[in-house]
Amino acid sequence: MLENIQLLLDNPVALLNLLLDGIMIGAIFALIAYGMALVWGVMNIINLSQGEFVIFGGFIGYYTSTDWTLAIGPSASPWVSLEWGGISPLWALVIAPLILYGIGRAFYALVIFRLVDRDLFTSILATFGISIFLQQLMNGVFTAEDVIAQHGMGSWVLVDGTTGELVIEQVRVIALVFAVIVGAVLTFYLRQTRGGQAIRAVAQDARAARIMGINADQVYARTYALNAAICGAAGVLISMTLVIHAFSGLIYTVRAFMIVVIAGLGNVAGVIAAGLGLGAAEKVADIVIGTSYQTAFITGLLLVVLLWRSLRLGRQRKVLR
């Protein structure tokens, strides 16, 4: 462990590379957390099926990039097709949010609307049920293998020296840029448009909003579906940069929850900072304590964050709630 830290300190370029990598991944985490904070803030529901929506989006990314020629013949226009016959998973960034939006709407209409006024434990357990249901369904219907969406993009080698190399994968830059764009569009939507105003009004006081003529159920449905769509996009980005597995959703939920707990509800800047920080911290931890401890690191970090926050509140005789 100590020698790993020493190794990193001896190779500042490698460390920089690691941090940059982590920050670009962290942008995706921030995106997922943004969606979770949206649902939590507006509907008072902690959506534990967040990670499964992400993985679902990831599978859509994966399947767009697989060999379609077997199913529908060679792709007609060469600029969308990849060498192996699939289309670029970047197209899934459009497809996945649309599909997930529909799935979000469906889950809202079937289950979530019954949870809006219920206590948080009910919503936690019910969304955990959705999470189990979805992960098992994906495991059965899609594949139980680790998959990755092939994107055919290269990387930029900035520094190639003895103190480590600085390589930036183009796809990660795209992930970062896309996450930033989605975040910006969402912020604009929530701040400047009528639809966004309605969401914020319902978040502040659902009853008053209803009296003012806002269809709160519609707003809830839209919020939940919007969150699913965000997760879908984030999932596509993850399928291109990391690995997708049917059962790996829960850890994204934990990450998102942790980011929201660190940042607090309604703090967009905090979510971004915490997301980027988490991404970077994970990358460093991967080297220092090893990738086999990755999940332990994330869950352990969540416990530390929760305890740290509750201890700080405890000094003022308050509790985290």
Partner 1 sequence: MSSGFATSRFSRGLILTCVVLAILAAVAPVALPTLVKQMTVFWVMVIIAYTWDTMGGQLGYNSFGNVVFFGAGMYASAVLQIAPFTDMAAYTAAGEQGGALVLTNAQYFAGLLPGLLVAAGVGFLLALILGFAILRLRGHYFAIGTLAAGIFVAQIVANWEYLGAGSGLTMPGFPGKGAAGDQAKSTFFYYLCFGLAGVTFLFLQWLYSTRFGLAANAIRDDEDKAEAMGLPTGRYKIIAWAISGFFLGICGALYGNFVIHVDPEDVAFDGAGLGVWMVLMVVLGGKGSLWGPLIGAVLFHVTKELLWTYLLGLQYVVLGLLVIVIVVFFPEGIVGWLRQRFPNRFGERVEAGEVR
> Residues 146, 177, 295, 312: which binds partner 1 (CB under 8 A)?
295
Range in contact with partner 1 (rule: CB under 8 A) among 150-158, 197-205, 263-271, 296-304: 296-304
- With residue 245 as reference, give the H or E element that holds it: none
3-state secondary structure of 142: coil
The residue among 30, 217, 199, 235 whose CA lies nearest residue 109 is: 217
Q: Which is nearer to partner 1, 150 or 286 (CB)?
A: 286
The residue type at 18: L
CB atoms < 10 A from the CB of 310, how many?
Answer: 13
Three-state secondary structure call for residue 164: strand
Q: Interface with partner 1 includes 131 (CB under 8 A)? A: yes
Stretch binding partner 1 (CB under 8 A), from 10-18, 173-181, 232-240, 298-306:
298-306
CA–CA separation, 82 vs 220, rounded Å?
A: 39
Do the Cβ atoms of 232 and 240 come closer than 8 Å?
Answer: no
φ/ψ of residue 166, rounded to 5: -110, 100
- The position carrying tokens 């060498």 is 83
> By CB under 8 A, is residue 321 in contact with partner 1?
yes
Residue 32 · residue 50 · CB < 8 Å = yes
User: Can you tell me the distance from the alpha carbon of 65 to that of 294, in angstroms, rounded to the nearest whole number?
Assistant: 28
Q: Which are the contacts of 115, defined by CB distance < 8 A and separation ≥ 6? A: 45, 122, 123, 126, 127
Q: Select from 110-118, 196-204, 215-223, 270-278 the region that touches partner 1 (CB under 8 A).
A: 110-118
| Residue numbers 209-248 binding partner 1 by CB under 8 A | none
**Is residue 111 part of the contact set for partner 1 (CB under 8 A)?**
yes
144 sits near partner 1 (criterion: CB under 8 A)? no
306 lies in the site for partner 1, by CB under 8 A? yes
Among residues 94, 193, 311, 312, the one that binds partner 1 under rule CB under 8 A: 311
Site for partner 1 in 256-285 (CB under 8 A): 257, 261
296 lines the binding site for partner 1 (CB under 8 A): yes
Q: Please report how close the Cβ of residue 34 comes to partner 1 at its closest, in angstroms.
A: 18
Could you tell me which stretch among 53-61, 133-141, 180-188, 205-213 binds partner 1 (CB under 8 A)?
133-141
Footprint of partner 1 (CB under 8 A): 46, 48, 111, 114-115, 118, 120-122, 124-126, 128-137, 140, 250, 254, 257, 261, 292-293, 295-296, 299-300, 302-303, 306-307, 310-311, 314, 319-321
